[in-house]
Structure 1
Amino acid sequence: MVVIDEKDVDLLRRSGVSADDIDHCVKVARKSLEIAERCGGNMDMKLVARGALFHDLGKAITHGITHGKIGAELGRKLGLPAAVTDIMEKHIRGGLTPAEAQALGLPVKDYALSNIVEKVVIYADRLVDIIYDGVVQLKNERDAEDRFIEILRTYPQYGKNEITLNRYIGYHEEIQALMKGNPCQHM
Protein backbone atom coordinates (compact mmCIF):
# COMPACT_ATOMS: atom_id res chain seq x y z
CA MET A 1 0.00 0.00 0.00
CA VAL A 2 1.40 3.38 -1.03
CA VAL A 3 1.34 6.01 1.67
CA ILE A 4 1.76 9.75 1.48
CA ASP A 5 5.43 10.62 1.90
CA GLU A 6 6.02 13.04 4.80
CA LYS A 7 8.96 14.51 2.84
CA ASP A 8 6.49 15.57 0.16
CA VAL A 9 4.18 17.12 2.77
CA ASP A 10 7.20 18.97 4.17
CA LEU A 11 8.08 20.18 0.66
CA LEU A 12 4.59 21.72 0.39
CA ARG A 13 5.14 23.41 3.75
CA ARG A 14 8.59 24.73 2.80
CA SER A 15 7.17 25.99 -0.51
CA GLY A 16 4.76 28.24 1.38
CA VAL A 17 1.51 26.30 1.01
CA SER A 18 -0.83 27.16 3.91
CA ALA A 19 -1.78 24.60 6.56
CA ASP A 20 -5.40 24.61 5.29
CA ASP A 21 -4.30 23.99 1.70
CA ILE A 22 -1.92 21.22 2.82
CA ASP A 23 -4.80 19.62 4.73
CA HIS A 24 -6.88 19.75 1.54
CA CYS A 25 -4.03 18.25 -0.52
CA VAL A 26 -3.54 15.39 1.96
CA LYS A 27 -7.29 14.66 1.87
CA VAL A 28 -7.23 14.64 -1.94
CA ALA A 29 -4.22 12.30 -1.91
CA ARG A 30 -5.96 9.90 0.49
CA LYS A 31 -9.20 9.99 -1.50
CA SER A 32 -7.27 9.50 -4.77
CA LEU A 33 -5.49 6.45 -3.37
CA GLU A 34 -8.80 5.04 -2.10
CA ILE A 35 -10.43 5.53 -5.50
CA ALA A 36 -7.44 4.03 -7.34
CA GLU A 37 -7.58 0.97 -5.06
CA ARG A 38 -11.32 0.60 -5.67
CA CYS A 39 -10.62 0.76 -9.42
CA GLY A 40 -8.41 -2.30 -9.08
CA GLY A 41 -5.15 -0.67 -8.04
CA ASN A 42 -3.62 -1.15 -11.49
CA MET A 43 -2.38 2.44 -11.58
CA ASP A 44 0.95 3.95 -10.66
CA MET A 45 -0.05 4.48 -7.02
CA LYS A 46 2.99 6.62 -6.24
CA LEU A 47 1.98 8.95 -9.09
CA VAL A 48 -1.59 8.97 -7.79
CA ALA A 49 -0.36 10.00 -4.32
CA ARG A 50 2.15 12.61 -5.48
CA GLY A 51 -0.04 14.09 -8.22
CA ALA A 52 -2.88 14.54 -5.75
CA LEU A 53 -0.66 15.85 -2.97
CA PHE A 54 1.02 18.46 -5.18
CA HIS A 55 -2.02 19.42 -7.32
CA ASP A 56 -2.47 22.73 -5.43
CA LEU A 57 1.21 23.65 -4.96
CA GLY A 58 0.51 26.87 -6.90
CA LYS A 59 -1.73 28.04 -4.04
CA ALA A 60 1.50 28.98 -2.28
CA ILE A 61 1.41 31.96 -4.68
CA THR A 62 -2.24 32.42 -5.70
CA HIS A 63 -5.67 30.91 -5.19
CA GLY A 64 -6.67 32.26 -8.61
CA ILE A 65 -7.25 30.39 -11.85
CA THR A 66 -3.49 30.45 -12.60
CA HIS A 67 -2.57 28.32 -9.57
CA GLY A 68 -2.34 25.19 -11.76
CA LYS A 69 0.08 26.80 -14.20
CA ILE A 70 2.11 28.42 -11.42
CA GLY A 71 2.15 25.17 -9.45
CA ALA A 72 3.48 23.23 -12.43
CA GLU A 73 6.24 25.84 -12.90
CA LEU A 74 7.16 25.60 -9.20
CA GLY A 75 7.04 21.81 -9.40
CA ARG A 76 9.44 21.75 -12.35
CA LYS A 77 11.85 24.01 -10.41
CA LEU A 78 11.62 21.62 -7.45
CA GLY A 79 12.46 18.69 -9.74
CA LEU A 80 9.07 16.97 -9.62
CA PRO A 81 8.49 14.46 -12.45
CA ALA A 82 6.64 15.67 -15.57
CA ALA A 83 3.75 13.28 -14.84
CA VAL A 84 3.19 15.10 -11.51
CA THR A 85 3.53 18.61 -12.95
CA ASP A 86 1.14 17.63 -15.76
CA ILE A 87 -1.51 16.81 -13.17
CA MET A 88 -0.86 20.13 -11.45
CA GLU A 89 -1.18 22.12 -14.66
CA LYS A 90 -4.18 20.27 -16.07
CA HIS A 91 -6.35 20.01 -12.95
CA ILE A 92 -8.01 23.41 -13.42
CA ARG A 93 -11.65 22.63 -14.25
CA GLY A 94 -10.67 19.08 -15.08
CA GLY A 95 -8.70 19.77 -18.26
CA LEU A 96 -9.40 22.84 -20.35
CA THR A 97 -9.69 23.10 -24.11
CA PRO A 98 -7.52 25.75 -25.80
CA ALA A 99 -10.60 27.99 -26.20
CA GLU A 100 -11.46 27.68 -22.49
CA ALA A 101 -7.85 28.41 -21.53
CA GLN A 102 -7.86 31.53 -23.69
CA ALA A 103 -11.16 32.72 -22.19
CA LEU A 104 -9.67 32.31 -18.69
CA GLY A 105 -6.45 34.13 -19.58
CA LEU A 106 -4.25 31.04 -19.40
CA PRO A 107 -1.64 30.05 -21.98
CA VAL A 108 -3.52 28.73 -24.99
CA LYS A 109 -3.00 25.00 -25.23
CA ASP A 110 -4.86 21.75 -24.75
CA TYR A 111 -5.05 20.82 -21.06
CA ALA A 112 -7.14 17.68 -21.70
CA LEU A 113 -6.52 14.87 -19.26
CA SER A 114 -4.64 12.06 -20.95
CA ASN A 115 -4.76 9.17 -18.48
CA ILE A 116 -6.77 7.59 -15.70
CA VAL A 117 -4.44 8.82 -12.93
CA GLU A 118 -5.13 12.44 -13.91
CA LYS A 119 -8.87 11.72 -13.93
CA VAL A 120 -8.78 10.03 -10.51
CA VAL A 121 -7.00 13.03 -8.98
CA ILE A 122 -9.50 15.50 -10.46
CA TYR A 123 -12.43 13.35 -9.37
CA ALA A 124 -11.02 13.05 -5.84
CA ASP A 125 -10.47 16.83 -5.71
CA ARG A 126 -14.17 17.44 -6.52
CA LEU A 127 -15.27 14.83 -3.99
CA VAL A 128 -13.08 16.25 -1.22
CA ASP A 129 -14.50 19.72 -1.83
CA ILE A 130 -18.05 18.35 -1.66
CA ILE A 131 -17.35 16.24 1.44
CA TYR A 132 -15.53 18.88 3.48
CA ASP A 133 -16.90 22.27 2.35
CA GLY A 134 -20.01 21.80 4.50
CA VAL A 135 -22.28 23.16 1.74
CA VAL A 136 -24.01 19.85 0.98
CA GLN A 137 -25.65 17.74 3.68
CA LEU A 138 -24.21 14.23 3.29
CA LYS A 139 -24.98 10.96 5.09
CA ASN A 140 -21.36 9.86 4.66
CA GLU A 141 -18.47 10.18 2.20
CA ARG A 142 -19.96 7.64 -0.21
CA ASP A 143 -23.09 9.80 -0.43
CA ALA A 144 -20.96 12.38 -2.29
CA GLU A 145 -20.25 9.77 -4.97
CA ASP A 146 -23.81 8.49 -5.09
CA ARG A 147 -25.19 12.02 -5.50
CA PHE A 148 -22.24 13.44 -7.49
CA ILE A 149 -24.19 14.39 -10.63
CA GLU A 150 -27.09 15.89 -8.67
CA ILE A 151 -24.69 17.90 -6.47
CA LEU A 152 -22.74 19.28 -9.44
CA ARG A 153 -25.97 20.30 -11.15
CA THR A 154 -27.42 21.87 -7.99
CA TYR A 155 -24.35 23.71 -6.69
CA PRO A 156 -22.59 25.74 -9.42
CA GLN A 157 -19.40 26.12 -7.35
CA TYR A 158 -18.76 22.41 -7.99
CA GLY A 159 -19.91 22.12 -11.61
CA LYS A 160 -18.61 25.59 -12.62
CA ASN A 161 -20.24 25.79 -16.06
CA GLU A 162 -21.92 23.41 -18.54
CA ILE A 163 -18.68 22.36 -20.25
CA THR A 164 -16.86 21.68 -16.98
CA LEU A 165 -19.92 20.02 -15.46
CA ASN A 166 -20.15 17.58 -18.36
CA ARG A 167 -16.42 16.87 -18.16
CA TYR A 168 -16.67 16.06 -14.43
CA ILE A 169 -19.73 13.86 -15.03
CA GLY A 170 -17.77 11.96 -17.68
CA TYR A 171 -14.91 11.29 -15.24
CA HIS A 172 -17.41 10.22 -12.57
CA GLU A 173 -19.08 7.75 -14.93
CA GLU A 174 -15.77 6.37 -16.21
CA ILE A 175 -14.34 5.89 -12.72
CA GLN A 176 -17.55 4.44 -11.28
CA ALA A 177 -17.60 1.94 -14.17
CA LEU A 178 -14.02 0.91 -13.34
CA MET A 179 -15.00 0.47 -9.69
CA LYS A 180 -18.00 -1.69 -10.61
CA GLY A 181 -15.73 -3.94 -12.64
CA ASN A 182 -13.63 -4.56 -9.56
CA PRO A 183 -14.99 -7.12 -7.06
CA CYS A 184 -13.31 -5.16 -4.22
CA GLN A 185 -15.23 -1.96 -4.95
CA HIS A 186 -16.87 -1.82 -1.50
CA MET A 187 -13.63 -1.60 0.49
Structure 2
Amino acid sequence: MNTPTMLREDDLDLLRSSGMSDADITHSRQVSEKALEIAGPVTVAWKAELDMELVARGALFHDLGKVETHAMEHGMIGARMGAELGLPETVTAIMEKHIRGGLAAEEAVELGLPVKDYTLGRLEERIIIYADRLVDIIHDGIVEIRSEREAEERFEEILRTIPKYGKNDLTLARYLGYHKEIQALMAE
Protein backbone atom coordinates (compact mmCIF):
# COMPACT_ATOMS: atom_id res chain seq x y z
CA MET A 1 0.00 0.00 0.00
CA ASN A 2 1.45 3.37 -0.96
CA THR A 3 1.50 6.06 1.70
CA PRO A 4 -1.03 8.69 0.61
CA THR A 5 0.12 12.28 0.63
CA MET A 6 -2.91 13.17 2.80
CA LEU A 7 -1.15 11.79 5.90
CA ARG A 8 0.50 14.66 7.68
CA GLU A 9 3.73 14.14 9.58
CA ASP A 10 2.60 16.69 12.21
CA ASP A 11 -0.48 14.51 12.87
CA LEU A 12 1.73 11.45 13.36
CA ASP A 13 3.91 13.52 15.71
CA LEU A 14 0.77 14.54 17.62
CA LEU A 15 -0.17 10.87 18.10
CA ARG A 16 3.35 10.09 19.33
CA SER A 17 3.49 13.07 21.70
CA SER A 18 0.06 12.11 23.08
CA GLY A 19 1.53 8.78 24.15
CA MET A 20 -0.03 6.48 21.56
CA SER A 21 1.80 3.17 21.30
CA ASP A 22 3.68 2.26 18.14
CA ALA A 23 1.25 -0.62 17.51
CA ASP A 24 -1.78 1.68 17.77
CA ILE A 25 -0.10 4.27 15.52
CA THR A 26 0.62 1.56 12.95
CA HIS A 27 -3.02 0.44 13.06
CA SER A 28 -4.31 4.01 12.76
CA ARG A 29 -2.00 4.72 9.87
CA GLN A 30 -3.14 1.54 8.11
CA VAL A 31 -6.78 2.54 8.62
CA SER A 32 -6.08 6.00 7.21
CA GLU A 33 -4.30 4.56 4.17
CA LYS A 34 -7.08 2.01 3.55
CA ALA A 35 -9.81 4.64 3.98
CA LEU A 36 -8.11 6.92 1.45
CA GLU A 37 -7.69 3.99 -0.94
CA ILE A 38 -11.43 3.27 -0.69
CA ALA A 39 -12.49 6.92 -0.84
CA GLY A 40 -10.83 7.56 -4.21
CA PRO A 41 -13.09 5.26 -6.27
CA VAL A 42 -16.11 6.17 -4.14
CA THR A 43 -15.59 9.87 -4.90
CA VAL A 44 -15.62 9.11 -8.63
CA ALA A 45 -18.68 6.84 -8.37
CA TRP A 46 -20.59 9.19 -6.08
CA LYS A 47 -19.91 12.06 -8.47
CA ALA A 48 -19.27 14.33 -5.52
CA GLU A 49 -16.28 15.41 -3.55
CA LEU A 50 -15.58 13.56 -0.36
CA ASP A 51 -13.62 15.46 2.25
CA MET A 52 -10.37 13.53 1.81
CA GLU A 53 -8.67 15.44 4.64
CA LEU A 54 -11.46 14.33 6.96
CA VAL A 55 -11.06 10.75 5.75
CA ALA A 56 -7.30 10.86 6.37
CA ARG A 57 -7.39 12.62 9.73
CA GLY A 58 -10.56 10.97 11.07
CA ALA A 59 -9.06 7.56 10.40
CA LEU A 60 -5.67 8.49 11.76
CA PHE A 61 -7.06 9.83 15.05
CA HIS A 62 -9.99 7.41 15.51
CA ASP A 63 -8.22 5.39 18.24
CA LEU A 64 -6.49 8.26 20.11
CA GLY A 65 -8.42 7.32 23.28
CA LYS A 66 -6.44 4.06 23.40
CA VAL A 67 -3.70 6.16 24.97
CA GLU A 68 -5.80 5.85 28.16
CA THR A 69 -7.78 2.63 27.61
CA HIS A 70 -8.61 -0.03 25.05
CA ALA A 71 -12.06 -0.38 26.63
CA MET A 72 -15.36 0.65 25.07
CA GLU A 73 -15.07 4.25 26.26
CA HIS A 74 -11.87 4.88 24.27
CA GLY A 75 -13.95 6.64 21.61
CA MET A 76 -15.40 9.11 24.09
CA ILE A 77 -12.01 9.64 25.74
CA GLY A 78 -10.34 10.12 22.36
CA ALA A 79 -12.91 12.74 21.35
CA ARG A 80 -12.23 14.67 24.55
CA MET A 81 -8.48 14.43 24.01
CA GLY A 82 -8.84 15.46 20.38
CA ALA A 83 -10.87 18.52 21.35
CA GLU A 84 -8.19 19.46 23.89
CA LEU A 85 -5.58 19.14 21.11
CA GLY A 86 -7.61 21.47 18.90
CA LEU A 87 -8.73 18.89 16.34
CA PRO A 88 -11.79 19.87 14.29
CA GLU A 89 -15.21 18.74 15.55
CA THR A 90 -15.68 16.63 12.42
CA VAL A 91 -12.62 14.59 13.42
CA THR A 92 -13.53 14.32 17.12
CA ALA A 93 -17.04 13.21 16.12
CA ILE A 94 -15.54 10.26 14.25
CA MET A 95 -13.41 9.42 17.27
CA GLU A 96 -16.47 9.41 19.51
CA LYS A 97 -18.84 7.60 17.15
CA HIS A 98 -16.62 4.85 15.73
CA ILE A 99 -17.31 2.37 18.54
CA ARG A 100 -19.12 -0.67 17.11
CA GLY A 101 -19.66 1.18 13.86
CA GLY A 102 -21.93 3.90 15.24
CA LEU A 103 -24.24 3.01 18.11
CA ALA A 104 -27.87 3.92 18.55
CA ALA A 105 -28.70 5.63 21.87
CA GLU A 106 -30.24 2.42 23.28
CA GLU A 107 -27.02 0.50 22.62
CA ALA A 108 -24.98 3.21 24.34
CA VAL A 109 -27.06 2.68 27.49
CA GLU A 110 -26.39 -1.08 27.39
CA LEU A 111 -22.65 -0.45 27.02
CA GLY A 112 -22.46 2.17 29.78
CA LEU A 113 -21.68 5.07 27.45
CA PRO A 114 -23.34 8.48 27.64
CA VAL A 115 -26.81 8.37 26.12
CA LYS A 116 -26.71 9.90 22.67
CA ASP A 117 -26.98 8.93 19.06
CA TYR A 118 -23.61 7.78 17.71
CA THR A 119 -24.84 6.82 14.25
CA LEU A 120 -22.65 7.66 11.28
CA GLY A 121 -24.28 10.25 9.07
CA ARG A 122 -21.47 11.16 6.71
CA LEU A 123 -20.17 8.85 4.00
CA GLU A 124 -16.63 9.74 5.09
CA GLU A 125 -17.40 8.32 8.56
CA ARG A 126 -18.76 5.08 7.11
CA ILE A 127 -15.71 4.68 4.87
CA ILE A 128 -13.41 5.07 7.89
CA ILE A 129 -15.31 2.50 9.95
CA TYR A 130 -15.37 0.08 7.03
CA ALA A 131 -11.63 0.58 6.53
CA ASP A 132 -11.05 0.00 10.27
CA ARG A 133 -12.81 -3.36 10.12
CA LEU A 134 -10.97 -4.36 6.92
CA VAL A 135 -7.60 -3.46 8.43
CA ASP A 136 -8.39 -5.61 11.47
CA ILE A 137 -9.23 -8.56 9.22
CA ILE A 138 -6.16 -8.03 7.03
CA HIS A 139 -3.63 -7.58 9.83
CA ASP A 140 -4.92 -9.45 12.92
CA GLY A 141 -3.77 -12.82 11.59
CA ILE A 142 -6.98 -14.51 12.75
CA VAL A 143 -8.22 -15.17 9.22
CA GLU A 144 -5.91 -16.52 6.56
CA ILE A 145 -6.26 -14.25 3.56
CA ARG A 146 -4.00 -13.90 0.54
CA SER A 147 -4.81 -10.31 -0.37
CA GLU A 148 -6.60 -7.20 0.78
CA ARG A 149 -9.12 -7.78 -2.01
CA GLU A 150 -9.90 -11.19 -0.54
CA ALA A 151 -10.76 -9.49 2.78
CA GLU A 152 -13.32 -7.36 0.92
CA GLU A 153 -14.69 -10.34 -1.01
CA ARG A 154 -15.03 -12.48 2.14
CA PHE A 155 -16.08 -9.61 4.41
CA GLU A 156 -19.61 -10.86 5.07
CA GLU A 157 -18.53 -14.46 5.65
CA ILE A 158 -15.75 -13.38 8.03
CA LEU A 159 -18.00 -11.09 10.07
CA ARG A 160 -20.72 -13.73 10.30
CA THR A 161 -18.35 -16.50 11.43
CA ILE A 162 -15.90 -14.68 13.71
CA PRO A 163 -17.61 -12.90 16.64
CA LYS A 164 -14.60 -10.63 17.24
CA TYR A 165 -15.42 -8.87 13.97
CA GLY A 166 -19.22 -9.02 13.89
CA LYS A 167 -19.64 -8.44 17.65
CA ASN A 168 -23.45 -8.78 17.90
CA ASP A 169 -26.46 -8.73 15.57
CA LEU A 170 -26.85 -4.93 15.56
CA THR A 171 -23.16 -4.26 14.98
CA LEU A 172 -22.98 -6.97 12.34
CA ALA A 173 -25.93 -5.47 10.47
CA ARG A 174 -24.28 -2.03 10.50
CA TYR A 175 -20.94 -3.31 9.20
CA LEU A 176 -22.62 -5.38 6.50
CA GLY A 177 -24.65 -2.33 5.48
CA TYR A 178 -21.49 -0.22 5.15
CA HIS A 179 -19.84 -3.00 3.15
CA LYS A 180 -22.73 -3.24 0.71
CA GLU A 181 -23.06 0.53 0.37
CA ILE A 182 -19.37 1.18 -0.22
CA GLN A 183 -18.76 -1.82 -2.47
CA ALA A 184 -21.74 -0.75 -4.61
CA LEU A 185 -20.33 2.77 -4.91
CA MET A 186 -16.89 1.44 -5.79
CA ALA A 187 -18.40 -0.79 -8.49
CA GLU A 188 -20.19 2.07 -10.26
Q: TM-score, structure 1 length as denominator?
A: 0.95
Q: Confirm whether residue 180 of structure 1 aligns to residue 187 of structure 2.
A: yes
Question: Is 1:27 aligned to 2:25, yes or no?
Answer: no
Distance in 2, matches of 1:77 and 1:178, equals 35
Distance (Å, rounded) in 1 between the aligned partners of 2:73 and 2:14: 20
Measured against aligned partners, the alpha-carbon deviations of 1:108-147 in whole angstroms (never above 9, x if no partner) come to: 0000001100000000000000000000011201000000
Residue equivalent to 1:85? 92
Q: What is the match of residue 39 of structure 1?
A: 42
2:9 to 6, 16, 39: 6
Counterpart of 1:185 in structure 2 is none
State the partner residue of 1:157: 164
> Of residues 138, 147, 150 in structure 1, which corresponds to 2:154?
147
**Cα offset for 1:2?**
4.2
Write the distance in 2 (CA, Å) between the matches of 1:40 and 1:69: 29
Contact 1:2 1:45 in 2 (8 A): no
Alignment-derived partner of residue 99 in structure 1: 106
Aligned to 1:136: 143
Q: Distance in 1 between matches of 2:7 and 2:125?
A: 17
Is the aligned partner of 1:109 residue 2:116?
Answer: yes
Aligned length in residues: 181
Paired with 1:72 and 1:167, the residues of 2 have a C-alpha distance of 22
Report the residue type matching 2:74 in the other structure. H
* Pairwise CA distance, 1:38: 1.9
List gaps (5 residues or longer) in structure 2: none
Shift of 1:22: 0.2
Distance in 2 of aligned mates of 1:97 and 1:48:
22
SS of structure 2 residue aligned to 1:39 = helix
Aligned to 2:67: 60
TM norm structure 2? 0.94
Whether the 8 Å contact between 1:39 and 1:178 is mirrored in structure 2 is yes
Cα RMSD after superposing both structures:
0.9
Residue 76 of structure 1: which of 73, 83, 91 is its match?
A: 83
Query: Once the two structures are superposed, what CA deviation does each residue of 1:2-56 show, in whole Å capped at 9, x if it has no partner?
Result: 4200100010000011000000000000000000012135311011000000000
- For the Cα contact (< 8 Å) 1:2–1:46, is it kept in 2? no
**Equivalences for residues 163-174 of structure 1 within 5 A:** 163-174=170-181
Percent of aligned positions that are identical:
61
Q: Amino acid of the residue matched to residue 72 of structure 2?
A: I
